[in-house]
Amino acid sequence: MEWRTRWHITIRWDRADNSPAGVTVIGRVVDSPAQLRHLVQRARADPHVVAFPHRQTRELVGDEPTHCRSGHSYAGGSATRPARDWWTCSCGGHLVLRCLCGDVLADPPVGPGCDVRES
């Protein structure tokens, strides 16, 4: 898994008749500043758009690990399912999986810029 920056924008029109979708509010999520800039420029150019607030977020994306570093599967019943935890960090945080064999895996991995605080 990894942290990715995304932008959420909500575009509001004065009337549904003036919106391309026939509604007064449309919410979009984009993955790059260029995509956000494109939506903001279009909103600014439309005289019927009354607001277009946007915010930046960081989202954890990707698949969770399926096996511990010793090769034990995390799938199955409660006897093999890992204990799940969360470590707070300035990078956004780390999912922590503790296998029954004793392996502790932080995902995404703790890097040099991290200031992990175990919860």
Residue 36, helix vs strand vs coil:
helix
For the chain, give the mean pLDDT: 88
Residue 51, helix vs strand vs coil:
strand
Contact predicate 94/116, CB 8 Å: yes
Spatial separation of the C-alpha atoms in residues 37 and 22, rounded to whole Å:
23
pLDDT digits (tens, 9 = 90+) for 34-77: 999 999 999 999 999 999 999 999 888 888 888 888 888 877 66
Question: Across the strands, what pairs with 12?
Answer: 25, 51
Q: Is a pLDDT exceeding 70 seen at residue 79?
A: no
Measuring CA to CA, how many Å separate 1 from each of 5, 19, 35, 62, 63? 13, 37, 23, 4, 6
User: What would you measure as the largest C-alpha separation in the chain, in angstroms?
Assistant: 62
Contact predicate 89/116, CB 8 Å: yes
Q: What is the pLDDT of residue 78?
A: 62
Q: Is a pLDDT exceeding 90 seen at residue 15?
A: yes
The mean pLDDT of 10-30, rounded to a whole number, is: 94
From 52, 23, 22, select the one nearest 37 (Cα to Cα).
52
